[in-house]
Amino acid sequence: MEKLKLHSPDITQENIAKLAGLFPNCVTESKNEDGTLKRIIDFDQLRQELSIAIVEGPQERYQLNWPGKREALLTANAPIAKTLRPCREESVDFDTTQNLFIEGDNLDALKLLQETYLNKVKMIYIDPPYNTGKDFIYEDDFAEDAEAYFQRSNQKDEEGNRLVANTEANGRFHSDWLTMMYPRLKLARNLLRNDGVIFISIDENEITNLRRLCDEVFGEGNFVAVITLLCNPKGRSQDKYFATNHEYVLVYSKTALPKGSFSIEKDENQIEAEYPEEDSFGKYRLLELRNTHREFGKHNRKNLFYPFYVDDEGSVSVNSSEGWQKVLPLWDDGYEGCWTWEKKRAEQDADLLFAKRVNDRWKIYRKSYANGADRMLKTILVDKAFYTERGQKEFNSLFNTKAKLFQSPKSPLLISQLCQTATSESDIVLDFFSGSATTAHAVMALNAEDGKTRRHIVVQLPAPIDEKSEAFKAGYKTIVEIGKERIRRAGKKIKEENAGKPGIDQLDIGFRVLKIDNSNMKDVYYAPDAVQQGDLLAQVDNIREDRSAEDLLFQVLLDWGVDLALPITQETIAGKQVFFVDGNALAACFETGIDEEFVKALAARHPLRAVFRDAGFGSDSVKINIEQIFKLISPTTEVKSI
């Protein structure tokens, strides 16, 4: 029985709990004068979260630290002047698909997605570089303040792909890897729903550091599991001491989740093997009602220690009747155990209970039906379907080759299994280290299997492929080309293999390609004070000359936080091209010569939002009167210009 507190609320601890929800990395431990530990706020770290400059602090504390951490945090929080440009020719079903393929630096992508997908992603899966000394990491430039970083982000990236080998000769071997992962995980956490989860594949090189890093970013209390994956049963023969044949999948949630959150329905084979009995309600199995764990008993579960009463036929009741025998949850040696149900539930579900005589003693059993039965995924995965060899075979089959166009892709069946434990219906699945786009493949395959409409967002840097590789010889110049082609081939194959299945024609196998680029706006838009008087006429139009109307539309969607996968239609109104997003959610016209007649015609459509090009109005009077026109005809419309 819980005791009354008999004291007023501890406001300080409540405030700490609130801050922990917003900034879990700012909660740490410190010693009281008597040497006991207490939970406190790391104000240096909190100041860093709220600052645009690096905050220094010498106070000793329990923490994960490395050279470059503060700079990484500063840059994670700094804005960028970039955008996403649509590429219809490389997309599939551009106008109708709900899936996104983002091409570019994943740090930039995560920043660009903050407004639109804040608290909307149900599951993230990533397979980042393992830091083996033979792979590559992002070379992020953190040696500048937030304002300089913002200004530079509006320029063309002359560094190209910014991937560097992090060899063992590098004195910051672990630090550089942590610096790469830290800002990306922090930004990724923002995108997760409150019930969202993240799965991270990793091997022994960084599992310890990654665990501590995730404790800081997601909160130690939101650790879910470390899954051990048997990925190479033969083992790596080139290893120094033992032939490694496993990897890990680290699992964290954004907030504490209830028990059973990752359970999935049992398949027909399991039901057939595990539920041998059957009645009018379906197949079932018998489970002993007494708790079979000896550490639980009357001594610590008094509410679960009470008598049942059994008649000669094995009927069970919690109420005593003449001639019925009393049965307690006792072990064979007389140890006083306990039941797994409280008395109230036993009364409510008494029809599921009955007794059997075992060794001249009554035992109480309950019926457990297969309908809706769930199972938990094990923390050691040994299924052959999850082997790396299977992933390679699936990939090669799609590309009809024996050559390794992409080295050691994950098995899509592994990621499908993880998706099955964490997602349903139309949930969003994000992968910002997409590689060969295994996650996109897995999501489409799972949707075909269970009829759900999960969406995938994948992000990949267009890293160049070695000219000596088989992939380059096959015509692929960058990793993203392989990923896009895989989604095209996988989608086609999934539909062919499921032809005739109800709903398969509606399966979304498309993807909308969006490429990260510098802003559509000229530098004057971000730094008007820097323009000289002689340049004013050249800056009348603040939009770059090489940008299309659809480029402008997607920057507006980003700025307004509108879903980037919503359907887009184009109409001509009064001779002007108008984009309509999701029906009437947004209307955008970026043409020039906008007059009042056109504005009145557009306002008559009553869009929720309307946006125009700042230099597109035919006269200053039109620009001045546009808001008044909308107030008269469509007062609920929000009007803006770029």
Mean pLDDT of all residues in 574-587: 95
pLDDT over 90 percentage in the chain:
67
Is 254 in contact with 192 (CB distance < 8 Å)?
yes
Distances (CA, A) of 574 to 81, 107, 439, 577, 603: 34, 42, 45, 9, 12
Please choose, from the candidates 442, 450, 443, the residue with its C-alpha nearest in 3D space to the C-alpha of residue 390: 442
SS3 state at 260 = coil
The gap from C-alpha 508 to its chain's centroid, in whole angstroms, comes to: 19
Is 513 in contact with 488 (CB distance < 8 Å)?
no
- Higher-scoring residue by pLDDT: 283, 250: 250
The pairing of strands 246-253 and 638-641 is unpaired
Binned at pLDDT 50, 70 and 90, residue 188 comes out as: very high
Backbone angles phi, psi at 32, to 5 degrees: -75, 175
Residues 6+ apart with CB under 8 A from 564: 84, 100, 116, 512, 514, 554, 557, 558
Binned at pLDDT 50, 70 and 90, residue 536 comes out as: very low
pLDDT reported for residue 150: 60
Q: Which of the residue ranges 97-101, 159-163, 572-576 would you say has the lowest mean pLDDT?
A: 159-163
- Higher-scoring residue by pLDDT: 370, 324: 324
- Domains in the chain (CATH in brackets) are 11-63 (no CATH), 76-263+376-516 (3.40.50.150), 268-370 (no CATH), 532-641 (no CATH)
pLDDT reported for residue 422: 96
DSSP string, 459-520: EE--PBPPTTSHHHHTT--BHHHHHHHHHHHHHHHHHHHTTTSTTGGG----BEEEEEEE-S
Give the whole-angstrom CA distance, residue 275 versus residue 244.
38
Mean pLDDT of all residues in 16-41: 83
Beta bridge partners of 521: 543
- Higher-scoring residue by pLDDT: 282, 563: 563
Per 3-state DSSP, the chain is made up of helix, strand and coil in percentages (nearest 5) of 35, 25, 45
Is 518 in contact with 153 (CB distance < 8 Å)?
yes
pLDDT reported for residue 79: 85
pLDDT reported for residue 271: 84
pLDDT over 70 percentage in the chain:
88
Binned at pLDDT 50, 70 and 90, residue 133 comes out as: confident
* Helices 479-497 and 438-450, axial angle in degrees (round to 10): 20
pLDDT at 143 over 60: no
pLDDT reported for residue 524: 46
Binned at pLDDT 50, 70 and 90, residue 160 comes out as: very low
SS3 state at 224 = strand
pLDDT at 100 over 70: yes
pLDDT at 142 over 50: no
Tell me the three-class secondary structure of 578-638, residue by residue: EEEECCCCEEEECCCCECHHHHHHHHCCCCCEEEECCCCECCHHHHHHHHHHHHHHCCCCE
Backbone angles phi, psi at 121, to 5 degrees: -90, 125
Mean pLDDT of all residues in 273-302: 92
Q: Using the structure block, give the residue that is written with the tokens 């998706």.
A: 419
Mean pLDDT of all residues in 127-155: 65
Mean pLDDT of all residues in 50-60: 72
Mean pLDDT of the chain: 88
pTM, rounded to two decimals: 0.81
Token pair for 413: 């069946």
* Helices 207-218 and 173-191, axial angle in degrees (round to 10): 40
Is 629 in contact with 596 (CB distance < 8 Å)?
yes
* Helices 438-450 and 388-399, axial angle in degrees (round to 10): 90
Is 193 in contact with 120 (CB distance < 8 Å)?
yes
The sign of the torsion formed by the CA atoms of 232, 233, 239, 240 equals positive
* Helices 388-399 and 412-422, axial angle in degrees (round to 10): 110
pLDDT reported for residue 152: 59
pLDDT reported for residue 39: 81
Mean pLDDT of all residues in 530-543: 53
Q: Which of the residue ranges 60-74, 294-308, 446-460 would you say has the lowest mean pLDDT?
A: 60-74
pLDDT at 478 over 90: yes
Residues 6+ apart with CB under 8 A from 169: none
pLDDT reported for residue 341: 96
Binned at pLDDT 50, 70 and 90, residue 497 comes out as: very high
Please choose, from the candidates 195, 221, 191, the residue with its C-alpha nearest in 3D space to the C-alpha of residue 126: 191
Beta bridge partners of 230: 246
Mean pLDDT of all residues in 262-275: 85
For the beta carbon of residue 467, count every other beta carbon within 10 angstroms.
Answer: 9
Mean pLDDT of all residues in 86-96: 96
